[in-house]
């Protein structure tokens, strides 16, 4: 068993850390709103039941009271839950990807440079975030697209906060029950909250077991950015324990197009090219000893380079698909940047010469 | 479109016709090559054009919103320059290293030379002629649609 | 020097470039051209403010921007707003504040405001002497100027107006259009995306069958 590492990237100055902490803070804020909403609702419901039992008050006034008293916790809950959902959905995704998915990236009108484009290569995204972390064996360690450990933190945070509030309310209801009073409304409200709390714990435990049992996947590469027609040494390191029915490493090209018209916003992502670089079957990984292997990845000559504009993108990526014997399969994505092969002017007439011109 | 014209405006007299001659066969240019285009505008009365815009740009085509990047742009709006730019003219520019022309599935990248004429009546007319930069193989099709 | 090639369609005729609002003239549910001038008269009859109503992908936005263009061509001041997320609401507030008296504020996706927001916007517009022309999925606060309906005939008429008539022969067109319309449950935009995919499939088959590009 290997515990998930939240601070795996100790070297380099990649922005992953700060971005993740930003999301973490955001998640805490929204979760606190949810907790406040639940507490407030629980307390008000208890109080409102008391008011409702006042036979002297007319029925309509009781309903208005209910409506008004539930407005504030309802708003807190709605705002908090929406925020948590949005944070979880955006977790681990790049700013560009989120912007494209939400359709707000048109603020950066694409007249000229696309966001984050290389100055010498218009339309080609920069690879600054991919080359600022040195590898242990090869030159660079590639970042994973959706860090699982932070998803785990998000799920754990949600489960703990939600259930803490639930316990407070449940204790109150239990005390009432022991004293012979049964608050049916409070019980009715508690039931769905309890279901969500238990669901949160189940999802968190499942994710924890999956992450620790399957282990992390690391990828290192000998050079970056990549150029068509060239081959690169890649190190795959898979930790975990037990038997993996298969682990496949593929090289893929993804096209992404984001469209917004009228009330419709849609992002379409398709894989247009996939090559299985290598596949291992019935692989047994011993706890504490990770599986390490070198493979050669070749970018085909004449292949399209990485491209990113406000609403469209062509992305290269290495994908590891694993199928552990006892656990559900996993997919881990490592983005790459492929530059266009540049033709030197002096050799254009005589023959093709590829020149690695990198402008960072 | 290899060549397309469109006009904007309420009154629509006979549309001009803009033809272009590219200096590379099949309009295929290597990366960072020099592009030289001769154009000829027909069907325009002398003095009726108040400005000419000449640009070399790339745009995306496909299922997404259209993005574009202007590599070269010039606007000629004084009478002397407009007279020099019509009825024939030349656009010469060195192409950049990227993006390369690409025929993908949901994303396509095209390069074009665009000439826009602004008439004294307020009407404008644009003509666009596509060419290729680089020699990227087209995508063969969709392997998988991602959620 | 090579002579410029004739005007041929190299790309997919169903791409966003060809189907975006403004490319195809507004058509009614049967595929016949709509008379924009008559619609503007109708707008006046509605008191200057009205809604274009219809389901997703029925051409409301296309019609809205056509009417906005026509109003501008007649010298009317027009503010255009697309309501998407918080920024959409902000742009509406800015437009309502900025618009001069008598202007028409064209709002896409009016129902995104919700009824309190819509009421507030209507009240603010009335206070500032502004007119509203909006798109909505259901009739509501504003009188309905036009109900956008879709049909196979409408989709056929749109495809016929695309570059190279969508790259389909007349016999292919009828079959493909009817199938795409049925699959998309009458959503024209979705149907055009389906036809985009079919065009790509055919292009791929042609590439695989023909000599490879070198």
Q: Closest-CA residue in chain B for A267?
A: B64
Which residues in chain C are contacts of B25 at CB distance < 8 A?
Answer: 2
Q: Residue A8 pLDDT more than 50?
A: no
Enumerate neighbours of B (3 or more CB pairs within 8 A). Answer: A, C
The answer to whether residues C190 and C11 touch, using CB atoms and an 8 Å cutoff, is no
Q: Decide: pTM greater than 0.80.
A: no
Q: What CATH number did the domain enclosing C82 receive?
A: 3.40.50.300
Give the CA distances from residue A59 to residues A64, A183, C183, in Å, rounded to whole numbers and listed in that order. 9, 19, 52
Residue % of chain A over a pLDDT of 90: 31
pLDDT of residue A233: 97
C112 and A263: CB-CB below 8 Å? yes
pLDDT of residue A57: 52
Of B147 and C96, the one with more pLDDT: C96
List Cβ neighbours of C45 (8 Å cut-off, separation of 6 or more).
none
> Is there a domain that residue C50 lies in?
yes
Nearest to A264 among C20, C21, C57 (CB): C57
Extract the tokens encoding A159: 């489960």
B65 and A260: CB-CB below 8 Å? yes
Contact with chain C for residue B130, Cβ under 8 A: yes
Which residues in chain A are contacts of B146 at CB distance < 8 A?
Answer: 254, 269-271
A262 and C189: CB-CB below 8 Å? yes
- In chain A, where are the structural domains located? 16-91+149-214, 114-139+224-355
A256 and B64: CB-CB below 8 Å? yes
C164 lies in the same domain as C111: no
Max Cα distance, chain B (Å): 56
Mutual angle of helices C152-161 and C188-209, in 10-degree steps: 50
Residue B116 distance to chain A (closest CA, Å): 17
Contact with chain B for residue A306, Cβ under 8 A: no
C140 lies in the same domain as C157: no
The Cα A345–Cα A359 span in angstroms is 18
C121 lies in the same domain as C167: no
The answer to whether residues C30 and B49 touch, using CB atoms and an 8 Å cutoff, is no
> Is there a domain that residue C178 lies in?
yes
C63 lies in the same domain as C140: yes
The answer to whether residues C132 and C93 touch, using CB atoms and an 8 Å cutoff, is no
Residue among C50, C45, C58, C30 nearest C152 (CA): C30
Structural domains of chain B in order of their starting residue, each with its CATH number: 3-133 (2.60.40.640)
DSSP state of B53: E
C141 lies in the same domain as C48: yes
Q: Which domain holds residue C178?
A: 151-204
φ, ψ at B12 (rounded to 5°): -125, 85
Q: Report how many domains make up chain C.
A: 2
The Cα C214–Cα C197 span in angstroms is 25
What's the rounded mean pLDDT across residues C100-114? 88
What's the rounded mean pLDDT across residues A106-115? 39
> Is there a domain that residue C99 lies in?
yes
pLDDT of residue A173: 80
Contact with chain C for residue B10, Cβ under 8 A: yes
DSSP letter string over A31-85? HHHHHHHHHHHHHHHHHHHHHHT-TTS-HHHHHHHHHHHHHHHHHHHHHHHHHHH
Residue B115 distance to chain A (closest CA, Å): 17
C41 lies in the same domain as C139: yes
> Is there a domain that residue C142 lies in?
yes
The pairing of strands A312-324 and A264-285 is unpaired
Extract the tokens encoding A88: 């979880």
C84 lies in the same domain as C126: yes
Place of tokens 């026509």: C70
Q: Residue B126 pLDDT more than 50?
A: yes
pLDDT of residue A35: 81
Which residues in chain B are contacts of C207 at CB distance < 8 A?
Answer: 138, 140
Sign of the Cα torsion B92, B98, B103, B106 reads negative
> Is there a domain that residue C5 lies in?
no
Q: Is C185 left (phi over 0), alpha (psi -120 to 50) or beta?
A: left
Secondary structure (3-state) at C183: helix
pLDDT tier at A74, thresholds 50, 70, 90: confident
φ, ψ at A320 (rounded to 5°): -110, 120
pLDDT tier at A104, thresholds 50, 70, 90: very low
Place of tokens 């916003």: A265
Helix (H) / strand (E) containing A233: strand A231-238
Contact with chain B for residue A89, Cβ under 8 A: no
Enumerate neighbours of C (3 or more CB pairs within 8 A). Answer: A, B
Residue % of chain B over a pLDDT of 70: 90
Q: Which of A114-123, B117-126, C101-110 has the lowest mean pLDDT?
A: A114-123
Residue among C129, C78, C140, C77 nearest C107 (CA): C78
pLDDT tier at A4, thresholds 50, 70, 90: very low
pLDDT in tens, B128-144: 999 999 999 899 888 88
The Cα A225–Cα A229 span in angstroms is 13
φ, ψ at A174 (rounded to 5°): -65, -40
pLDDT of residue C110: 86
Q: Counting Cβ atoms within 10 Å, is residue C130 exposed (0-12), middle (13-18) or buried (19+)?
A: buried
Nearest to C4 among B3, B105, B137 (CB): B3
Contact with chain C for residue A260, Cβ under 8 A: yes
Neighbours of A198 (CB within 10 A): 14
C114 lies in the same domain as C158: no
B109 and A110: CB-CB below 8 Å? no
CATH of domain A114-139+224-355: 2.60.40.640
Best mutation target among C68, C80, C82 (most A Cβ atoms within 10 Å) is C82
B2 and C208: CB-CB below 8 Å? no
Give C94-135 as a 3 state SS string: HHHHHCCCCCEEEEECHHHHHHHHHHHHHHHHHHCCCEEEEE
> Is there a domain that residue C9 lies in?
no
Residue B5 distance to chain C (closest CA, Å): 9
Most confident of the following: A58-62, B78-82, C73-77, C192-196: C192-196
The pLDDT mean for chain C works out to: 85
Neighbours of A200 (CB within 10 A): 20
The pLDDT mean for chain A works out to: 75
Which residues in chain B are contacts of C15 at CB distance < 8 A?
Answer: 61-63, 108
Of A351 and A234, the one with more pLDDT: A234
Q: Residue C111 pLDDT more than 50?
A: yes
Secondary structure (3-state) at B2: coil
In chain B, DSSP finds a helix count (H) and a strand count (E) of: 1, 11
Q: Which of A104-113, B46-55, B118-127, C186-195 has the lowest mean pLDDT?
A: A104-113
C168 lies in the same domain as C134: no
The answer to whether residues B115 and B53 touch, using CB atoms and an 8 Å cutoff, is yes
Q: Closest-CA residue in chain A for B142?
A: A272
> Is there a domain that residue C19 lies in?
no
Give the CA distances from residue A106 to residues A264, A330, B105, in Å, rounded to whole numbers and listed in that order. 15, 33, 22
| Cβ-count burial C23-54 (b if 16+ within 10 Å, e if not) | ebebbbbebeebebeebbeebeebeebbbbbb
| HSE of B107, CA atoms in CB hemisphere, 13 A | 31
Residue A284 CA, chain-centre distance (Å), reads: 28
φ, ψ at A32 (rounded to 5°): -65, -40
Contact with chain A for residue B109, Cβ under 8 A: yes
DSSP state of A340: P
pLDDT tier at A17, thresholds 50, 70, 90: very low
Which residues in chain A are contacts of C137 at CB distance < 8 A?
Answer: 263
Which residues in chain B are contacts of A343 at CB distance < 8 A?
Answer: 30-32
pLDDT of residue A94: 41
The answer to whether residues A223 and A279 touch, using CB atoms and an 8 Å cutoff, is no
Give the CA distances from residue C61 to residues A106, B64, C10, C115, in Å, rounded to whole numbers and listed in that order. 18, 17, 28, 20
Q: How many CB pairs under 8 A join A and C?
A: 30
pLDDT in tens, A249-291: 999 999 999 987 655 678 999 999 999 999 999 999 888 888 9
pLDDT of residue A77: 78
Q: Closest-CA residue in chain C for B138?
A: C213
Contact with chain A for residue B104, Cβ under 8 A: yes
pLDDT of residue A117: 58
Which residues in chain C are contacts of A261 at CB distance < 8 A?
Answer: 20-21, 61, 189
C200 and B38: CB-CB below 8 Å? no
C6 and B3: CB-CB below 8 Å? yes
Residue A267 distance to chain C (closest CA, Å): 12
User: Which residues in chain C (66-85) have CB-CB distances under 8 A to chain B?
Assistant: 73
């Amino acid at each position: 068993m290997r515990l998930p590492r939240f601070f795996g990237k100790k070297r380099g100055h990649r922005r992953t850390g700060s971005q993740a902490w930003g999301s973490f803070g955001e998640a805490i804020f929204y979760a606190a709103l949810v907790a406040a909403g639940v507490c407030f609702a629980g307390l008000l419901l208890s109080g409102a039941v008391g008011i409702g039992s006042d036979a002297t008050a007319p029925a309509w006034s009781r309903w208005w009271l209910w409506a008004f008293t539930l407005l504030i916790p309802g708003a807190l809950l709605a705002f908090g839950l929406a925020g948590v959902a949005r944070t979880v959905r955006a977790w681990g995704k790049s700013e560009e990807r989120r912007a494209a998915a939400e359709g707000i990236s048109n603020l950066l009108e694409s007249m000229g440079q696309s966001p984050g484009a290389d100055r010498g290569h218009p339309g080609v995204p920069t690879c600054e975030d991919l080359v600022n972390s040195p590898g242990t064996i090869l030159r660079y360690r590639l970042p994973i697209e959706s860090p699982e450990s932070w998803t785990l933190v998000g799920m754990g945070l949600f489960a703990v906060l939600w259930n803490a509030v639930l316990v407070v309310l449940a204790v109150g209801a239990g005390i009432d029950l022991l004293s012979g009073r049964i608050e049916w409304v409070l019980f009715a409200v508690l039931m769905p909250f309890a279901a969500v709390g238990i669901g949160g714990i189940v999802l968190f435990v499942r994710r924890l077991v999956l992450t620790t049992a399957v282990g992390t996947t690391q990828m290192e590469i000998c050079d970056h950015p990549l150029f068509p027609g060239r081959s690169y040494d890649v190190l795959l390191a898979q930790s975990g324990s037990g038997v993996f029915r298969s682990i496949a490493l593929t090289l893929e090209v993804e096209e992404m197009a984001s469209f917004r018209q009228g009330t419709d916003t849609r992002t379409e992502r398709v894989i247009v090219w996939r090559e299985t670089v290598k596949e291992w079957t019935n692989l047994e990984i011993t706890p504490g000893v990770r599986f390490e292997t070198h493979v050669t990845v070749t970018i085909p000559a004449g292949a399209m380079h990485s491209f990113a504009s406000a609403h469209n993108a062509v992305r290269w990526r290495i994908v590891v698909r694993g199928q552990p014997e006892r656990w559900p399969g996993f997919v881990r994505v490592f983005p790459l940047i492929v530059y266009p092969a540049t033709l030197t002017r002096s050799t254009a007439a005589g023959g093709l010469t590829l020149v690695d011109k990198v402008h960072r | 479109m290899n060549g397309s014209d469109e006009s904007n405006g309420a009154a629509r007299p006979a549309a001009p016709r803009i033809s272009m001659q590219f200096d590379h066969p099949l309009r295929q240019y290597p990366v960072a090559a020099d592009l030289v285009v001769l154009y000829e505008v027909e069907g325009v009365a002398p003095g009726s054009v108040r400005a000419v815009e000449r640009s070399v740009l790339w745009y995306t085509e496909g299922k997404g919103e259209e993005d574009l990047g202007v590599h070269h742009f010039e606007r000629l709006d004084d009478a002397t320059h407009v007279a020099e730019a019509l009825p024939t003219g030349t656009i010469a520019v060195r192409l950049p290293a990227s993006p390369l022309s690409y025929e993908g599935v949901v994303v396509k990248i095209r390069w074009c030379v665009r000439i826009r004429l602004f008439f004294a009546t307020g009407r404008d007319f644009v003509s666009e002629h596509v060419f290729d930069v680089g020699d990227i193989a087209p995508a063969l099709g969709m392997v998988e649609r991602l959620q | 020097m090579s002579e410029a090639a004739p005007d041929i369609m190299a790309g997919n005729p169903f791409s966003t470039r060809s189907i975006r609002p403004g490319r195809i003239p507004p058509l009614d549910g049967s595929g016949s051209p709509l008379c924009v001038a008559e619609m503007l008269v109708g707008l006046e009859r509605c008191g200057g403010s009205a809604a274009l109503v219809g389901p997703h992908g029925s051409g409301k936005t296309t019609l809205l921007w056509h009417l906005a263009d026509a109003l501008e061509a007649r010298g009317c001041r027009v503010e255009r707003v697309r309501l998407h997320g918080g920024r959409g609401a902000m742009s509406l507030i800015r437009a309502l504040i900025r618009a001069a008296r008598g202007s028409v504020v064209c709002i896409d996706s009016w129902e995104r405001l919700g009824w309190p927001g819509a009421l507030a916007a209507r009240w603010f517009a009335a206070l500032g002497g502004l007119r509203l022309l909006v798109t909505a999925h259901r009739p509501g606060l504003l009188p309905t100027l036009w109900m956008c309906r879709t049909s196979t005939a409408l989709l056929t008429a749109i495809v016929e107006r695309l570059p190279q008539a969508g790259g389909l022969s007349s016999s292919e067109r009828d079959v493909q259009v009817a199938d795409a319309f049925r699959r998309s449950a009458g959503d024209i935009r979705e149907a055009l995306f389906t036809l985009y995919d079919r065009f790509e499939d055919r292009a791929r088959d042609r590439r695989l069958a023909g000599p490879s590009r070198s």
